Structure 1
Amino acid sequence: MLSRSGLLPRPQATGSFALDGDLLKCFPKTALGLLQQVRSAIDEVTEKGLPWQSVFDALRHQGQAIWQALPPEGQRRFLRHLCRWFEIHRFRMPPQIKELVVRETATGRLHIRAGRIVSAAYDSQHILIDIATAPHRSIEQARAQWLILATGPDHENAIGHEACLLDLERVGLITKDPHGLGIKCDRENRAVARDGTPVEGLLIAGPLARGTFGELTSVPEIVDQAEKIVERIRQMHFTGTRRMAMRIDAE
């Protein structure tokens, strides 16, 4: 298992526990301030005998408000220095997967490395892989029967993967999110055109809107956004119908 950081998701806590940790009482204005608040909240809950996971579950529910309170530079620093650490604590391993990882690592069948694949070639029996290992980027060679890419969707280049999005970009109706998280939109979910103006009727939903909203990966957050978009479409339709009725009456 190879990744840039070599970090695995942290395990989920056993048993039930309530959310704990109010990170909204003092909005952090920097990535460092956010880190300090999270660490302080974890110290408080662990002193009460609660698992640190309760703080991250609370952070998930408060994540959009915290992200939007950070200035652009604070958001960039979070993505550069804290994002991977947030993800491995936010998206956790269930106990069964943890047991599997521990067992396979102990038997020597599973190796977890930090690095990146430089090249891959195929001979008659194996895939030959050159790996630049962290931290010194020395090149190591490995042989495998399978090479499985599990990095997830390429949000930064999402526009380039879809012909319809490329067409919208060419005419200036959409543009990339400056953080490389998807498509740029405003807080009303409207796509932001190349000239910086919101595009009425062109709405961005789901993880591609993370650059604006922050946490938008799991079902609860996506459902909440979808409900707001449906309500906006309903209002747009009602307004358009009313204007049409007014024009008919005027005629």
Structure 2
Amino acid sequence: MQPALIVVTGASTGMGAAAARELARQGFHVLAGVRRDRDADAIRSDGVEPVILDITRSEQVEALAARVAGDPRPLHALVNNAGIQVNGPVEALPMAQWRWVFEVNLFGHIAVTQALLPALLRSQGRVVNISSVGGRVALPTYGAYAGAKFALEAVSDSLRREIAPLGVQVVVVEPGGVRTEMATRGIATANQLAAQMTPAQEERYSGLVQAINTLMASGTASGLTADAAARVIAKAVTTRRPRTRYTIGRDAAWITRLARMLPDRTLDRVIAANLGG
């Protein structure tokens, strides 16, 4: 019997690449979305077929849907993993950056999901949305990133309730600190954006930006490996009766638990203390 298909977006590096390899190891044929030819060459292996996919480009999303529709194998799962991290104070982050974060971290996932839902409905497969602990707790300077992740969580809940009666499951995965390049890129972007702040904004927020960068670097360094995170994603993909949400890492489990238990003002004080405030 031929292996079922799985689509993993954002598979060039990090958790996406690791998840693609892990799912191929478990016997699936993985269509791994990458944006560049050199990334395709790096990920290509037994069971992993790279496809050029920028989830913000409609023609590439349509080409992916045509590739899946033309394959006789069922589509077992879509793993919406692509994403970017852009941090900045709400006052200082340019509107173009807000729109781009939502375009990649929310609207692109919706576009791919819409395009592949006919195949998932036929196979009674599942959608696995890679959110973040930032989809449950919004740290300072995380307004755009957390806003898109909060929205992805809401869309996931709505979608789950829409298509569960049709046999398609929706699962959310919420990583905490994971040792990937995303945090490094996020810190570099935060510093570039901070350099564009007005003098008054710099006076208000420069210390906060640096404290967040330090916290992000520390959390990443002490986080799980991408391979360990990939095993959680694979569990969300393959478990016969999955939970609606999985966390990745002790920090994610701890933070989401605190968010459920503590009043907002108390949680504010906990976050401020961790930032040295």
Q: Greater relative contact order (Cα 8 A, min sep 6): structure 1 or 2? A: 2
Larger Rg: 1
Q: Which has the higher helix share?
A: 2
- With normalisation by structure 1, the TM-score equals 0.31
